[in-house]
Amino acid sequence: MQRRHVLKMGALAGGLGAITERERQAQAQVARATRGTPSPKIKDVQVIAMQIPASRPAAIARPGSVRLSVVKIITDQDGLYGYGCSTFTQRGELVNAAIEKYLKPFLIGKPTDRIDDLWQACYNSSYWRNGPVLNNAISGVDEALWDIKGRQAGMPVYQLLGGKCREAADTYVHITGPDIPAVLEDAHRMMEQGYHNLLLNPTYAQGVGGLHEGGSGTGTLGTSSVFQSAIFARTALKWLEQLRTQLGDEIGLMCDIHERLTPNEAVQLAKDAEKLKLFFLEDLLSPEDLAYFRQIRQQCATPIAMGELFNSPHEWTPLISERLIDYMRMHVSQMGGLTAARKVAALGEITGVKTAWHGPPDTSPVGHMAQVHMDLACYNFGIQEFTFYADLTKELFKGCPEVKNGYMYANDAPGWGMEVDEKLAAKYPYGSLEEGERKQLNGGWGELRRRDGSVIKQ
């Protein structure tokens, strides 16, 4: 095949008389690198939509189950295809339509081996861009193209990114509970399994700030769900103090604020927590309040991680280039996939900002695997969020990333090294594991309100 392809190119060069000897040699080199196979073309673009159960429902009240979207790109070459994560669990149907109705007809017949070119073409083809629906759709295509390139080369994707900088990715896991004894119990359970970086997640704890029905019992005007940010901030600090005292200095300790404080409360919490030597405070401000990061930087040295709600370079570029955060933790599919993320990671390497990609259950294992490959290959990797897989998830996705002693490993098979059991996935369509409001809202989230009945950011 290789020889035939090279000969064909030589004949073409001779016939046209337009290709120089140098170009002919370059093309022969490409043919050798791709084992003489012609450039694959996109034959079909499919969406695999499914629902998976939450992995730790007892500890984390929400989300109870998650709608996942995975893109499968099939090429015109026998057995050559790839998977990418396009999960936007709260608006899954819209992403799937963006892929099937717009990107699929745009992509059919195009070569799979021009990943950056196709990314730019998809990104610009809508004219208006950088929204969560369109970026997640592009991510599914982008990551599927990287998977195809890896399979074609016979290499895991991290090799295509330059190879490993480290053997495995250090992780952090969530700890939570209705009160501090329960949180400590959860922490010890995680430490016994080898995890040494723990994220306090008070946002999912009943009773913190009166969150969720049956919380503080303070009641409110118009709804039974109440959230009070000042109480939340004080409780989070008290719990962090107890965790540091009880767990010792060796444990990496984080806290997820989920963008729920007022700007002034956020600045105050960062200052108060400075003495605890946290690994980081996560999503301390909402994307609407980014200007306050400068105040936090000026007033304390608490490490700051930010970004899971970001969609756009307009949001992350100033924070990274001005060194206002320590860890970028964007949701990779929300950015537009690996192609977008690796470029921002490179910016972070220059400015001293590390990566801590968002790794919740509402990212598919294919998306997690794309993150691990970047974690291994990017020098400025910081840490990786990990939220466990239910047994069913591991059946749906063969070859999931594995965690040993708190470190996450990619498998070394070509591409992402993963296969999706599509027959099994068909048994778990959207809505199949939901009930109540979540089902009624088609996978969307409901609302949280203050005691006076006004809506809060969640």
Residues engaged in binding Mg ion (CB under 5 A):
256
Residue number, 256 or 326, with CB nearest to Mg ion:
256
Residue nearest to Mg ion (CB): 256
Report the nearest approach of Mg ion to the CB of residue 199 (Å). 8
Report the nearest approach of Mg ion to the CB of residue 93 (Å). 24
- 3-class SS at 407? strand
For the record, the structure tokens of 332 come out as: 């990779």
Residue number, 111 or 287, with CB nearest to Mg ion:
287
Residue number, 113 or 256, with CB nearest to Mg ion:
256
Residue 384's DSSP bridge partners are 171
Sequential DSSP letters for 362-390: TS-HHHHHHHHHHHHH-TTB--EE-----
Do residues 385 and 199 make contact, with C-beta atoms less than 8 angstroms apart? Answer: yes
Residue number, 169 or 396, with CB nearest to Mg ion:
169
Report the nearest approach of Mg ion to the CB of residue 294 (Å). 22
The Cα 22–Cα 274 span in angstroms is: 60
Do residues 392 and 341 make contact, with C-beta atoms less than 8 angstroms apart? Answer: no
Residue 18, burial from CB neighbour count under 10 angstroms (0-12, 13-18, 19+): exposed
Report the nearest approach of Mg ion to the CB of residue 160 (Å). 29
Report the nearest approach of Mg ion to the CB of residue 96 (Å). 25
Report the nearest approach of Mg ion to the CB of residue 258 (Å). 6
The Cα 20–Cα 23 span in angstroms is: 5
Pairing of strands 65-75, 327-328: unpaired
Residue number, 361 or 401, with CB nearest to Mg ion:
361
Residue number, 258 or 450, with CB nearest to Mg ion:
258
Report the nearest approach of Mg ion to the CB of residue 283 (Å). 5
Residue number, 147 or 256, with CB nearest to Mg ion:
256
In sequence order, what are the residues at sequence separation of 6 or more whose Cβ sits closer than 8 angstroms to the Cβ of residue 180? Answer: 238, 239, 242
Sequential DSSP letters for 238-305: HHHHHHHHHH-SSSEEEEE-TT-S-HHHHHHHHHHHGGG--SEEES-S-GGGGGGHHHHHHH----EE
